[in-house]
């Protein structure tokens, strides 16, 4: 008979997969925490916000809604619609020019923050025109679409410039910042494509929310601005 003083056997160790799952869940959180500690939480929040909403969600949602807009509201044929699509994606091709403007022409001593605000103003004004009168001419509608994509492009270029600046200052995090932006841009695009069809079906392109959904949040990144990271004085 075993002695009553014999020590209790130790509890069985957790299965290896249990620790692996916990580590897998905690790793992204630890990664974001490391980036926020090394840089600033507001900068990381701004990168996530711009890439998720502007570059990802807004871009994919805009693509679906604009196609329905030309077909159902303007009643133009597919060949003309595709021609218009090529025109209002020109601002994305001009991204190097927007980047050059943010570097060469600071506004009141700031190189980034005013361009975030400018992108928001352009996007909101362009969307407001489409929201208030959907019976506008196709030429004016095209101009508004160009304004919307210009706002998106300027916002993405501005945050890209911030990422480049911080990548130079903290070289070991350069690849992490690129991965952060790419991940949230892809996630935003996935959410945008998944939701756009439902929103168009429920709200309709003629409803102001059906067209104006993507216009109101380009000013949000300016709320997360940390002056020490987001702007450069003269």
- pTM, rounded to two decimals: 0.75
User: Which residues pair with residue 107 across a beta bridge?
Assistant: 110
The one-character DSSP state at 12 is P
Which tokens is 40 given? 């600033």
Nearest one of 2, 69, 55 to 210, comparing CA atoms? 69
pLDDT of residue 108: 81
**Alpha-carbon gap, residue 134 to 113, rounded angstroms:** 32
- 3-class DSSP state of 107: strand
**Alpha-carbon gap, residue 81 to 68, rounded angstroms:** 10
**pLDDT tens digits, 18-58:** 566 776 677 778 888 888 888 888 888 888 888 888 888 88
pLDDT of residue 233: 39
Which tokens is 17 given? 């997969």
CB neighbour class for 191 (10 Å; exposed up to 12, middle 13-18, buried from 19): middle
Which tokens is 225 given? 């601005």
**Alpha-carbon gap, residue 207 to 168, rounded angstroms:** 46
The yes-or-no verdict on residue 224 having pLDDT over 50 is: no
pLDDT of residue 37: 83
pLDDT of residue 226: 44
Indicate if the alpha-carbon torsion angle 109, 111, 117, 119 is positive or negative: positive
**122-148 b/e with 16+ CB inside 10 Å = b?**
bbbebbebbbeebebeeeebbbbbbbb
φ and ψ of 5, to 5 deg? -85, -5
Which tokens is 98 given? 């927007």
Using only C-alpha atoms, what is the Rg of the chain?
24
pLDDT of residue 61: 81
The yes-or-no verdict on residue 7 having pLDDT over 60 is: no
**pLDDT tens digits, 63-120:** 888 887 887 778 888 888 888 888 888 888 888 888 888 888 877 877 787 888 888 8
Q: How would residue 8 be classed by pLDDT, with cut points 50, 70 and 90? A: low
pLDDT of residue 9: 60
Residue given tokens 């927007």 in the structure block? 98
pLDDT of residue 209: 43
- 3-class DSSP state of 110: strand
**pLDDT tens digits, 124-176:** 888 888 777 667 788 888 888 888 888 888 888 888 888 888 888 888 888 88
Count of C-beta atoms within a 10 Å radius of residue 179: 12
């Amino acid at each position: 008979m075993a002695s009553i003083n014999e020590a209790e056997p130790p509890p069985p160790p957790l299965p290896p997969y249990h620790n692996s799952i916990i580590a897998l869940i905690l790793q992204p959180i630890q990664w974001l925490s490391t980036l926020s500690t090394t840089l600033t939480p507001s900068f990381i929040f701004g990168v996530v916000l711009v890439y998720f909403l502007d570059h990802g969600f807004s871009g994919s949602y805009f693509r679906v809604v604009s196609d329905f807009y030309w077909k159902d509201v303007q009643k133009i044929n597919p060949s003309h619609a595709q021609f218009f699509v090529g025109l209002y994606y020109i601002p994305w091709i001009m991204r190097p020019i927007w980047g050059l403007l943010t570097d060469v022409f600071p506004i009141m001593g700031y190189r980034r923050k005013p361009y975030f605000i400018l992108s928001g103003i352009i996007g909101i004004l362009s969307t407001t025109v489409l929201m208030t009168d959907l019976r506008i001419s196709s030429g004016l509608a095209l101009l508004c679409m160009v304004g919307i994509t210009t706002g998106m492009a300027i916002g993405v270029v501005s945050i890209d410039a911030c990422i480049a600046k911080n990548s130079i200052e903290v070289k070991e995090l350069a690849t992490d910042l690129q991965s952060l932006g790419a991940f949230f841009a892809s996630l935003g695009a996935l959410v945008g494509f998944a939701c756009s069809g439902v929103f168009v079906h429920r709200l309709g392109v003629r409803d102001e929310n059906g067209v104006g959904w993507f216009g109101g949040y380009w000013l949000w990144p300016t709320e997360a601005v940390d002056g020490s990271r987001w702007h450069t004085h003269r």
